[in-house]
Structure 1
Amino acid sequence: MNILSWIITIILNLIGIYMFFMNSKRYNDYRKKMKVYLDNHKDAQKFDNSKGTIILEIILIVVCFILAVVLPASAATMSERYGTMLLYTAIIFLAASMVMETYTTKKIFFSQDTFFYDQEAYKYKLITKIVPASGLFKPAVVSFGSKEISVPKKVAAKLEEQYKLWKAARKTTRREKRGRR
């Protein structure tokens, strides 16, 4: 490997390690906040769209680990061996960070008046609009007035369904209250 290849490999490893630790922190914060939310909302229902993606990412990690061990043995020089191992190590760190990110962003919990997504609980009544995803890789956008969050397409579809159910239940409750007066 030449000097440029080493520099690129080291930069990729640093990026992978940085992303791994940042997503580890995010994942740990998510777990703590999710536990608090679920303790306060016993009726919460989970929608999990992460399994398929996480399985693919774990397969990528395993394949890269195997390649990091097997391929360097066939390399001609020690420099190539270590370079190949470092390159696959960077991919392993990136894929592991993607697993943690997928775990936090492809799950949503619904309760009667709120939902929990990516470390935060939101009230249905604050939603101003849900813009569906347009395109293959574009996320949907949920607006809360001045704040917006991006959510995956399937999570947005489930959120919109739950939001409509909440609105219908709210209308029914309001009618019942007016009827009592």
Structure 2
Amino acid sequence: MAWTIDGTLDPDEALRLLDHMTGVSDNDFAMLIENKGTVMEGESKREYEDGKQRMDIAGYAYLAEVKTPPGASKGKVRNHPLIVVRNCDAATASIASLMKNQDADIKVQLSVFKAGGDSSKDMQPTLEILLEGARVDTHSILTGGTPRRPCEIIFFHYRKIELRSAPQKSTGQRGAVRSCVMNND
């Protein structure tokens, strides 16, 4: 991610993030944001097996890397912010409020469902990214590029991340779930 000298998101990089908005995918992406026990509502019509409201998202970017000091045999894992790209909707102002208030104990759940377009309530995600102790550090609303509609880019910093992945069986159900948990110090 490129930044300008004053620490803001580079406009060219922001427009490149909008490329997540184009094209057709065989997957559906959804995000749940929970703050102090309250689930933030977007405009998604889909129902989920846990009954909680989610927001449709267009794409996301996750990055972790290991920084190894000279002479060390092992490095330290460094997690970068989770970046989410989505169309602006009813939840946009609420997300901006999370940043303004610097709420720092947000739970975020990103879910990827295979077989895009199947809105069955019992569909289970094949990839999940769960954040705990999260907060919104950057919130950008922009237009331009291919979508030609208001879009938002959200950066979530977090204390803990859990990645869950599972194969999709031929029946369409999710197989055995594997997970990895990492804490930010």
Q: TM-score per shorter chain, which class?
A: under 0.3
Q: Which has the larger helix fraction?
A: 1
Q: Which has the larger strand fraction?
A: 2
Larger Rg: 1
